[in-house]
Amino acid sequence: MKESFNLRKVRDIGDTISDTFTFIRLNGGSLFKLLLYIVAPLALLSSLAMAAWQYQFTQSFDLENIIINPEDPFEIYRAMFQPSFFIAMFLQMITSSILTASLIGYLRLYDEKDGVVNDIKEVGSFAIKNLLWVFFFSLVWTVMLSFGFLLLFIPGIFFGIATSLLFYVHFIEKKGFGESLSRSMDLVSGNWWETFGVWILLFCVYSLLGLVIQIPNTILTGATTALGGTTSTLAIVLQAIGTFLNYFLYTLLLIGGGLWYFSLVEKKEATSLERKIGEIGDGWDESMFR
C-alpha cells in the first residue's frame, strides 16, 4: 500500500527540505511518467534549440574561419542575438511553463483527491489547458521583478520573495493574477525570512545537483581550453544533455515551494482542521473560513 503524505501541515525550513525529497520519493513513479510524457518532448526540443544556437555562436570564434570582426564592438552582440537565440529562449519559457503547470497541477490534484493521483492524463490535460496562463503570468511577473531590481535592489528582492507563491495560489485557490499576488504577499507576511531561507536552501540543493550534471562538460571544456582548442561538438552535446536534465531537477524547486505554500496556509488558517470540521457538517468549503 502506498504510504500517505500530508500536504497540509505546518513545517519549518528543515522539514520543508526533507519532505520535498520524501514527497518525490513516494510519488516518483507518477512524477516520472508526468515528466516523461508531458515535459520531456518540449524539454528535448528546447535543449536541441539551445545547442544549435551555441554551435552557431561558437563557430563565430572559430580561429580558422573568423566571422566576427574584432574592429566592430557590436559584432559580438549581432553574433549572439541571432534568430536561433530567440527561438531557444522562447522554447525554454514554454518548457518552464508546462513544467510549472504540470507539477503544481499534480499538487493540486493530490490535495483534492487525498493523495490518489492515478490518471496522469488528467494532470497533463490540466497543464496544457493552463499553459498560456503560466506563460503570461511568468512574463508579467518577470517584468515586474526586473523593474523592481532596476529601481531599487533590496525592494526588488523583498517583492520577489513576497510574491513567490503566486503560481500556487493561482492554481490551487483558483484566483486571478492580482488576487494571487495579494494572497501570496498575505501568506508570506510575517514569514518573509523563513520563506527567503526555504528558497535559498532549495536553490542551493538545485545548484549543487546541477553542478554534478555539468561535471563531464566542465572537464571536457577545461581540457579543450588548456590544449588551445575551440569548443567541440561533443561539449555542446553534453551541454544540451545537461540542460535537458536540469529541467527535471527543477522539480525540487516547484515541489519544495508547494510544500511551503501549504505550510503557510496551514500555519495561518489551519485549513486541515477546518476541512475535517466541514466534512462533519455539510461539506468542505475553504472560503467559508476566510
Closest by CA position to 30, among listed 255, 224, 283, 228 = 255
Closest by CA position to 152, among listed 163, 162, 160, 164 = 160
Q: What is the pLDDT of residue 15?
A: 93
User: What gap in Å lies between CA 288 and CA 268, rounded to an integer?
Assistant: 15
Is residue 248 within 8 Å of 28, Cβ to Cβ? no
H or E element in which residue 87 lies = helix 83-112
Q: What is the pLDDT of residue 12?
A: 93
Residues of the chain with pLDDT under 50: 63-66, 229-230, 284, 288-290
Lookup: cell for 280: 462533519
DSSP per position, 33-70:
HHIIIIIHHHHHHHHHHHHHHHHHHHHTT-TTS--S-T
So where are the chain's domains? Answer: 13-289
Q: Report pTM.
A: 0.80
Amino acid at the residue 89: M
Is residue 92 within 8 Å of 246, Cβ to Cβ? no
User: What gap in Å lies between CA 132 and CA 126, rounded to an integer?
Assistant: 12
CA of residue 229 relative to chain centroid, distance: 35
- The b/e string for 129-157 (b: 16+ C-beta within 10 A; e otherwise) is ebbebbbebbeebeeebeebeeeeeeebe
> pLDDT tens for residues 183-222?
999 999 999 999 999 999 999 999 998 888 777 766 766 6
Q: What is the pLDDT of residue 59?
A: 64
Q: What is the pLDDT of residue 130?
A: 86
Q: What is the pLDDT of residue 126?
A: 85
Q: What is the pLDDT of residue 272?
A: 56
The CA-based angle 129-135-140, given to 5 degrees, is 135
User: Within 13 Å, how many C-alpha atoms sit on residue 142's CB side?
Assistant: 8
Grid look-up 515528466 returns: 35
Q: What is the pLDDT of residue 83?
A: 76
Neighbours of 243 (CB within 10 A): 24
